[in-house]
Protein backbone atom coordinates (compact mmCIF):
# COMPACT_ATOMS: atom_id res chain seq x y z
CA UNK A 1 0.00 0.00 0.00
CA UNK A 2 2.89 2.39 0.68
CA UNK A 3 3.98 1.87 -2.95
CA UNK A 4 0.51 2.86 -4.20
CA UNK A 5 0.36 5.95 -1.95
CA UNK A 6 3.83 7.01 -3.06
CA UNK A 7 2.93 6.59 -6.75
CA UNK A 8 -0.18 8.79 -6.33
CA UNK A 9 1.80 11.38 -4.32
CA UNK A 10 4.36 11.57 -7.15
CA UNK A 11 1.58 12.34 -9.66
CA UNK A 12 0.10 15.06 -7.43
CA UNK A 13 3.58 16.50 -6.79
CA UNK A 14 4.03 16.81 -10.55
CA UNK A 15 0.72 18.70 -10.78
CA UNK A 16 1.76 21.07 -7.95
CA UNK A 17 5.18 21.69 -9.51
CA UNK A 18 3.55 22.66 -12.82
CA UNK A 19 1.21 25.06 -11.00
CA UNK A 20 4.14 26.58 -9.08
CA UNK A 21 5.90 27.22 -12.40
CA UNK A 22 2.69 28.75 -13.78
CA UNK A 23 2.38 25.90 -16.29
CA UNK A 24 -0.80 23.95 -17.03
CA UNK A 25 -0.58 20.51 -15.33
CA UNK A 26 -0.56 17.46 -17.60
CA UNK A 27 -1.10 13.74 -16.96
CA UNK A 28 0.67 11.33 -19.31
CA UNK A 29 -0.94 7.94 -20.01
CA UNK A 30 -0.01 5.13 -22.38
CA UNK A 31 -2.01 4.60 -25.57
CA UNK A 32 -3.54 1.35 -24.29
CA UNK A 33 -5.74 0.61 -27.30
CA UNK A 34 -3.18 1.14 -30.07
CA UNK A 35 -2.03 -2.14 -31.68
CA UNK A 36 1.31 -0.47 -32.49
CA UNK A 37 2.05 -0.45 -28.75
CA UNK A 38 1.36 -4.18 -28.41
CA UNK A 39 3.67 -7.09 -29.07
CA UNK A 40 2.75 -10.75 -29.14
CA UNK A 41 4.83 -13.14 -27.09
CA UNK A 42 3.95 -16.83 -27.18
CA UNK A 43 4.50 -17.38 -23.45
CA UNK A 44 2.54 -14.30 -22.31
CA UNK A 45 0.09 -13.30 -25.03
CA UNK A 46 -0.47 -9.65 -25.94
CA UNK A 47 1.75 -7.35 -23.90
CA UNK A 48 2.57 -3.67 -23.97
CA UNK A 49 5.96 -2.75 -25.44
CA UNK A 50 8.35 -0.93 -23.06
CA UNK A 51 8.68 2.34 -25.03
CA UNK A 52 5.05 2.68 -26.07
CA UNK A 53 3.51 5.91 -27.34
CA UNK A 54 1.65 8.04 -24.82
CA UNK A 55 -1.07 10.67 -24.87
CA UNK A 56 -1.30 13.76 -22.71
CA UNK A 57 -4.38 14.64 -20.71
CA UNK A 58 -4.03 18.40 -20.39
CA UNK A 59 -5.78 20.62 -17.87
CA UNK A 60 -5.75 23.65 -20.21
CA UNK A 61 -7.40 22.02 -23.21
CA UNK A 62 -11.23 22.03 -23.53
CA UNK A 63 -11.22 18.49 -24.97
CA UNK A 64 -9.35 16.94 -22.04
CA UNK A 65 -9.80 19.27 -19.04
CA UNK A 66 -12.84 17.34 -17.81
CA UNK A 67 -11.01 14.01 -18.07
CA UNK A 68 -8.04 15.54 -16.22
CA UNK A 69 -10.36 16.61 -13.36
CA UNK A 70 -12.05 13.19 -13.21
CA UNK A 71 -8.67 11.43 -13.05
CA UNK A 72 -7.64 13.58 -10.08
CA UNK A 73 -11.01 12.95 -8.41
CA UNK A 74 -10.66 9.15 -8.74
CA UNK A 75 -6.99 9.29 -7.70
CA UNK A 76 -8.05 11.03 -4.47
CA UNK A 77 -10.75 8.36 -3.87
CA UNK A 78 -8.19 5.58 -4.40
CA UNK A 79 -5.73 7.32 -2.08
CA UNK A 80 -8.33 7.47 0.73
CA UNK A 81 -9.31 3.79 0.23
CA UNK A 82 -5.71 2.56 0.31
CA UNK A 83 -5.02 4.68 3.40
CA UNK A 84 -8.07 3.35 5.27
CA UNK A 85 -7.72 -0.19 3.83
CA UNK A 86 -11.26 -0.12 2.40
CA UNK A 87 -12.45 -1.34 -1.01
CA UNK A 88 -15.02 -0.18 -3.54
CA UNK A 89 -16.35 -1.60 -6.80
CA UNK A 90 -16.17 0.43 -10.01
CA UNK A 91 -19.95 0.64 -9.70
CA UNK A 92 -19.65 2.17 -6.18
CA UNK A 93 -17.31 4.83 -7.56
CA UNK A 94 -19.72 5.69 -10.39
CA UNK A 95 -22.71 5.90 -8.03
CA UNK A 96 -20.82 8.12 -5.58
CA UNK A 97 -21.45 10.95 -8.10
CA UNK A 98 -23.33 9.88 -11.24
CA UNK A 99 -23.79 13.47 -12.44
CA UNK A 100 -20.06 14.15 -12.28
CA UNK A 101 -18.94 10.92 -13.99
CA UNK A 102 -21.74 10.75 -16.56
CA UNK A 103 -21.44 7.01 -17.28
CA UNK A 104 -20.01 3.79 -15.89
CA UNK A 105 -17.76 3.33 -18.94
CA UNK A 106 -16.02 6.67 -18.22
CA UNK A 107 -15.16 5.43 -14.70
CA UNK A 108 -13.98 2.04 -16.05
CA UNK A 109 -11.66 3.64 -18.62
CA UNK A 110 -10.19 6.12 -16.15
CA UNK A 111 -9.46 3.38 -13.60
CA UNK A 112 -7.64 1.35 -16.28
CA UNK A 113 -5.72 4.47 -17.35
CA UNK A 114 -4.71 5.17 -13.73
CA UNK A 115 -3.62 1.55 -13.22
CA UNK A 116 -1.52 1.73 -16.40
CA UNK A 117 -0.11 5.20 -15.55
CA UNK A 118 0.93 4.17 -12.02
CA UNK A 119 2.11 0.72 -13.25
CA UNK A 120 0.12 -0.86 -10.40
CA UNK A 121 -2.41 -3.72 -10.88
CA UNK A 122 -5.97 -2.56 -10.43
CA UNK A 123 -6.70 -4.80 -7.43
CA UNK A 124 -3.82 -3.08 -5.56
CA UNK A 125 -5.69 0.22 -6.06
CA UNK A 126 -8.50 -1.24 -3.87
CA UNK A 127 -10.93 -1.07 -6.79
CA UNK A 128 -12.95 -4.24 -7.40
CA UNK A 129 -15.03 -5.29 -10.40
CA UNK A 130 -18.70 -5.99 -9.95
CA UNK A 131 -18.89 -9.78 -10.00
CA UNK A 132 -20.14 -11.37 -13.16
CA UNK A 133 -18.64 -14.86 -13.50
CA UNK A 134 -19.60 -18.20 -11.96
CA UNK A 135 -17.54 -21.22 -10.90
CA UNK A 136 -18.67 -24.76 -10.06
CA UNK A 137 -17.18 -28.22 -9.68
CA UNK A 138 -14.37 -29.85 -7.76
CA UNK A 139 -12.91 -26.84 -5.94
CA UNK A 140 -12.81 -25.40 -2.45
CA UNK A 141 -10.95 -22.36 -1.09
CA UNK A 142 -10.93 -19.83 1.74
CA UNK A 143 -11.81 -16.20 1.04
CA UNK A 144 -9.74 -13.35 2.47
CA UNK A 145 -12.18 -12.82 5.36
CA UNK A 146 -11.94 -16.50 6.36
CA UNK A 147 -15.19 -17.68 4.67
CA UNK A 148 -14.80 -21.27 3.43
CA UNK A 149 -16.25 -21.84 -0.03
CA UNK A 150 -16.97 -25.31 -1.40
CA UNK A 151 -18.01 -25.40 -5.05
CA UNK A 152 -18.17 -29.21 -5.11
CA UNK A 153 -21.34 -29.84 -3.15
CA UNK A 154 -23.24 -26.92 -4.56
CA UNK A 155 -26.13 -27.62 -6.92
CA UNK A 156 -25.91 -23.99 -7.98
CA UNK A 157 -22.80 -22.16 -9.11
CA UNK A 158 -20.71 -19.94 -6.82
CA UNK A 159 -20.05 -16.31 -7.84
CA UNK A 160 -16.40 -15.66 -8.73
CA UNK A 161 -14.88 -13.93 -5.66
CA UNK A 162 -14.46 -10.15 -5.86
CA UNK A 163 -10.94 -10.34 -4.43
CA UNK A 164 -9.31 -13.26 -6.26
CA UNK A 165 -5.91 -12.11 -5.00
CA UNK A 166 -6.98 -12.77 -1.40
CA UNK A 167 -8.28 -16.35 -1.75
CA UNK A 168 -6.11 -19.12 -0.29
CA UNK A 169 -6.05 -22.84 0.60
CA UNK A 170 -7.26 -23.82 -2.88
CA UNK A 171 -7.85 -27.58 -3.09
CA UNK A 172 -9.14 -29.64 -5.99
CA UNK A 173 -8.97 -33.14 -7.48
CA UNK A 174 -10.07 -31.82 -10.87
CA UNK A 175 -8.51 -33.35 -13.96
CA UNK A 176 -9.22 -30.30 -16.12
CA UNK A 177 -10.88 -26.85 -16.20
CA UNK A 178 -13.69 -26.11 -18.65
CA UNK A 179 -14.34 -22.45 -19.55
CA UNK A 180 -17.87 -22.08 -20.91
CA UNK A 181 -18.74 -18.99 -22.93
CA UNK A 182 -22.40 -18.65 -22.03
CA UNK A 183 -24.38 -18.79 -18.84
CA UNK A 184 -27.18 -20.89 -20.43
CA UNK A 185 -24.77 -23.66 -21.50
CA UNK A 186 -23.01 -23.50 -18.13
CA UNK A 187 -26.34 -23.94 -16.29
CA UNK A 188 -27.27 -26.84 -18.59
CA UNK A 189 -24.02 -28.67 -17.79
CA UNK A 190 -24.63 -27.95 -14.12
CA UNK A 191 -28.13 -29.48 -14.34
CA UNK A 192 -26.67 -32.54 -16.09
CA UNK A 193 -24.14 -32.90 -13.22
CA UNK A 194 -21.43 -32.88 -15.89
CA UNK A 195 -18.50 -32.09 -13.55
CA UNK A 196 -19.04 -35.34 -11.63
CA UNK A 197 -20.01 -37.67 -14.47
CA UNK A 198 -17.00 -37.64 -16.82
CA UNK A 199 -14.20 -37.02 -14.34
CA UNK A 200 -13.85 -34.38 -11.63
CA UNK A 201 -13.43 -30.95 -13.19
CA UNK A 202 -13.88 -27.23 -12.53
CA UNK A 203 -16.30 -25.24 -14.71
CA UNK A 204 -16.11 -21.46 -15.11
CA UNK A 205 -18.15 -18.98 -17.12
CA UNK A 206 -17.52 -15.27 -17.61
CA UNK A 207 -21.05 -15.08 -19.09
CA UNK A 208 -19.82 -13.64 -22.36
CA UNK A 209 -16.77 -11.38 -22.45
CA UNK A 210 -15.06 -12.18 -19.14
CA UNK A 211 -14.54 -9.53 -16.48
CA UNK A 212 -11.19 -9.07 -14.76
CA UNK A 213 -12.05 -11.30 -11.78
CA UNK A 214 -13.02 -14.28 -13.95
CA UNK A 215 -9.76 -13.95 -15.89
CA UNK A 216 -7.78 -13.62 -12.64
CA UNK A 217 -9.45 -16.76 -11.27
CA UNK A 218 -8.67 -18.80 -14.40
CA UNK A 219 -5.04 -17.67 -14.09
CA UNK A 220 -4.96 -18.44 -10.35
CA UNK A 221 -6.36 -21.96 -10.94
CA UNK A 222 -3.75 -22.53 -13.65
CA UNK A 223 -0.94 -21.37 -11.34
CA UNK A 224 -2.28 -23.54 -8.49
CA UNK A 225 -3.08 -26.82 -10.25
CA UNK A 226 -1.36 -26.79 -13.70
CA UNK A 227 -4.15 -28.92 -15.20
CA UNK A 228 -5.43 -28.65 -18.81
CA UNK A 229 -7.81 -25.76 -19.53
CA UNK A 230 -10.38 -26.18 -22.31
CA UNK A 231 -12.83 -23.66 -23.78
CA UNK A 232 -16.37 -24.34 -24.98
CA UNK A 233 -17.49 -21.45 -27.19
CA UNK A 234 -20.02 -20.74 -29.92
CA UNK A 235 -18.66 -21.45 -33.41
CA UNK A 236 -18.73 -17.78 -34.37
CA UNK A 237 -16.25 -14.85 -34.48
CA UNK A 238 -17.52 -13.52 -31.12
CA UNK A 239 -16.86 -16.90 -29.44
CA UNK A 240 -13.35 -17.05 -30.92
CA UNK A 241 -12.69 -13.49 -29.71
CA UNK A 242 -13.72 -14.40 -26.14
CA UNK A 243 -11.50 -17.49 -26.17
CA UNK A 244 -8.56 -15.34 -27.34
CA UNK A 245 -9.14 -12.95 -24.40
CA UNK A 246 -8.67 -15.85 -21.93
CA UNK A 247 -5.67 -17.25 -23.80
CA UNK A 248 -3.81 -14.19 -25.11
CA UNK A 249 -5.42 -11.24 -23.33
CA UNK A 250 -6.97 -8.06 -24.69
CA UNK A 251 -5.33 -5.00 -26.19
CA UNK A 252 -6.79 -2.60 -23.61
CA UNK A 253 -5.48 -4.68 -20.65
CA UNK A 254 -2.16 -5.68 -22.25
CA UNK A 255 -0.25 -3.77 -19.55
CA UNK A 256 -1.46 -6.43 -17.08
CA UNK A 257 -0.98 -9.46 -19.35
CA UNK A 258 1.42 -11.26 -16.98
CA UNK A 259 -1.34 -11.64 -14.35
CA UNK A 260 -4.23 -12.38 -16.69
CA UNK A 261 -3.40 -14.57 -19.67
CA UNK A 262 -3.17 -18.37 -19.80
CA UNK A 263 -1.45 -19.24 -23.10
CA UNK A 264 -1.96 -22.99 -22.51
CA UNK A 265 -5.76 -22.71 -23.02
CA UNK A 266 -7.08 -25.18 -25.63
CA UNK A 267 -10.02 -24.85 -28.04
CA UNK A 268 -12.29 -27.83 -27.35
CA UNK A 269 -15.38 -26.71 -29.21
CA UNK A 270 -17.59 -25.86 -30.86
CA UNK A 271 -15.24 -26.16 -33.84
CA UNK A 272 -16.45 -25.10 -37.29
CA UNK A 273 -15.20 -28.51 -38.55
CA UNK A 274 -17.45 -30.23 -35.95
CA UNK A 275 -20.55 -28.89 -37.72
CA UNK A 276 -19.65 -30.79 -40.88
CA UNK A 277 -18.44 -33.88 -39.00
CA UNK A 278 -21.66 -34.15 -37.01
CA UNK A 279 -23.85 -33.46 -40.06
CA UNK A 280 -25.53 -30.53 -38.36
CA UNK A 281 -28.47 -29.50 -40.54
CA UNK A 282 -27.75 -26.28 -42.49
CA UNK A 283 -31.14 -24.88 -41.37
CA UNK A 284 -29.89 -24.93 -37.76
CA UNK A 285 -26.94 -22.65 -38.66
CA UNK A 286 -27.04 -18.84 -38.72
CA UNK A 287 -25.81 -16.78 -41.71
CA UNK A 288 -22.99 -14.27 -41.06
CA UNK A 289 -23.77 -10.57 -40.69
CA UNK A 290 -21.43 -7.92 -42.13
CA UNK A 291 -20.23 -7.36 -38.55
CA UNK A 292 -19.34 -11.08 -38.25
CA UNK A 293 -17.33 -10.91 -41.48
CA UNK A 294 -15.39 -7.86 -40.28
CA UNK A 295 -14.74 -9.37 -36.85
CA UNK A 296 -13.47 -12.64 -38.37
CA UNK A 297 -11.23 -10.80 -40.86
CA UNK A 298 -9.74 -8.78 -37.99
CA UNK A 299 -9.10 -11.92 -35.88
CA UNK A 300 -7.43 -13.68 -38.84
CA UNK A 301 -4.91 -10.82 -39.09
CA UNK A 302 -3.89 -10.95 -35.42
CA UNK A 303 -0.31 -11.98 -34.64
CA UNK A 304 -1.26 -15.00 -32.51
CA UNK A 305 -3.27 -16.73 -35.27
CA UNK A 306 -0.07 -17.11 -37.35
CA UNK A 307 1.41 -19.46 -34.73
CA UNK A 308 -1.80 -21.54 -34.52
CA UNK A 309 -2.09 -23.31 -37.92
CA UNK A 310 -4.97 -25.55 -36.73
CA UNK A 311 -6.95 -22.56 -35.48
CA UNK A 312 -6.22 -20.82 -38.77
CA UNK A 313 -7.73 -23.74 -40.66
CA UNK A 314 -10.91 -23.64 -38.53
CA UNK A 315 -11.29 -19.89 -39.12
CA UNK A 316 -10.90 -20.50 -42.86
CA UNK A 317 -13.73 -23.08 -42.73
CA UNK A 318 -15.89 -20.48 -40.94
CA UNK A 319 -14.98 -17.74 -43.42
CA UNK A 320 -15.73 -19.99 -46.43
CA UNK A 321 -19.11 -21.15 -45.15
CA UNK A 322 -20.19 -17.71 -43.83
CA UNK A 323 -22.27 -19.62 -41.28
CA UNK A 324 -22.11 -19.63 -37.49
CA UNK A 325 -23.56 -21.85 -34.78
CA UNK A 326 -24.35 -21.55 -31.11
CA UNK A 327 -23.42 -24.39 -28.74
CA UNK A 328 -27.17 -25.05 -28.35
CA UNK A 329 -27.21 -26.29 -31.96
CA UNK A 330 -26.10 -29.68 -30.56
CA UNK A 331 -29.56 -30.15 -29.05
CA UNK A 332 -30.74 -30.65 -32.65
CA UNK A 333 -28.89 -34.00 -32.49
CA UNK A 334 -30.40 -34.89 -29.09
CA UNK A 335 -31.37 -33.02 -25.92
CA UNK A 336 -28.38 -34.10 -23.79
CA UNK A 337 -25.92 -34.66 -26.66
CA UNK A 338 -23.47 -32.01 -25.34
CA UNK A 339 -22.91 -33.57 -21.90
CA UNK A 340 -23.56 -37.23 -22.78
CA UNK A 341 -21.67 -37.63 -26.08
CA UNK A 342 -19.93 -34.52 -27.44
CA UNK A 343 -17.80 -33.45 -24.45
CA UNK A 344 -16.93 -36.97 -23.14
CA UNK A 345 -15.77 -38.06 -26.64
CA UNK A 346 -13.73 -34.90 -27.18
CA UNK A 347 -12.04 -35.23 -23.78
CA UNK A 348 -11.37 -38.95 -24.18
CA UNK A 349 -10.05 -38.89 -27.75
CA UNK A 350 -8.24 -35.55 -27.75
CA UNK A 351 -10.56 -33.55 -29.98
CA UNK A 352 -9.11 -30.15 -29.09
CA UNK A 353 -6.76 -27.67 -30.77
pLDDT tens per residue across span 218-257: 999 999 999 999 999 999 999 999 998 898 887 767 777 6
Question: With 80 as the cut, is the pLDDT of residue 347 above it?
Answer: yes
List the beta strands (DSSP E) in 168-228: 168-171, 176-180, 201-205
Q: Which residues lie below 8 Å from residue 190, measured CB to CB, with a gap of 6+? A: 136, 155, 156, 157, 203
The predicted pLDDT at position 145 comes to: 81
Is 141 one of the catalytic residues? Answer: no
Last residue in a domain, options 128, 151, 175 = 128
The predicted pLDDT at position 306 comes to: 83
Q: Which domain holds residue 23?
A: 2-128
CATH number, domain with residue 295: 3.40.1360.10
Residues 117 and 232 in one domain: no
The active-site residue out of 79, 87, 94, 95 is 95
Which pTM does this prediction carry?
0.77
Residues 74 and 186 in one domain: no
The predicted pLDDT at position 155 comes to: 66
Q: Are 178 and 205 in contact (CB under 8 A)?
A: no
Residues 267 and 199 in one domain: yes
Residues 93 and 167 in one domain: no
Residues 140 and 42 in one domain: no
CA distance linking residue 121 with residue 11, whole number of Å: 17
Last residue in a domain, options 85, 110, 128 = 128
CA distance linking residue 234 with residue 206, whole number of Å: 14
Q: How many CB atoms lie within 10 A of CB 335?
A: 12
Residues 221 and 319 in one domain: yes
Residues 108 and 197 in one domain: no
Residues 104 and 150 in one domain: no
**pLDDT tens for each residue of 39-79:** 777 777 887 777 777 888 888 888 888 999 999 999 999 99
Residues 278 and 217 in one domain: yes
Last residue in a domain, options 91, 108, 128 = 128
CATH number, domain with residue 89: 1.10.10.10
Residues 284 and 327 in one domain: yes
Q: What's the number of domains the chain is made of?
A: 2
Amino acid sequence: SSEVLEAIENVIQGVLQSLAQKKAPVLTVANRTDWRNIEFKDSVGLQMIPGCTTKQIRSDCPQSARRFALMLKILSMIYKMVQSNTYATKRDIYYSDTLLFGSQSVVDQIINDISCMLKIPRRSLHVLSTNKGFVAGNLSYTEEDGTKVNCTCSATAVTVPSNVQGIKNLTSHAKFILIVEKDATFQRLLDDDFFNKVSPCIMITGRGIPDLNTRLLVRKLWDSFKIPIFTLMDADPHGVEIMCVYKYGSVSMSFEAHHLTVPSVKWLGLLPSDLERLNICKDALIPFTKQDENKLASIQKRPYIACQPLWKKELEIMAASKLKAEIQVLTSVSADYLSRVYLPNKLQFGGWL
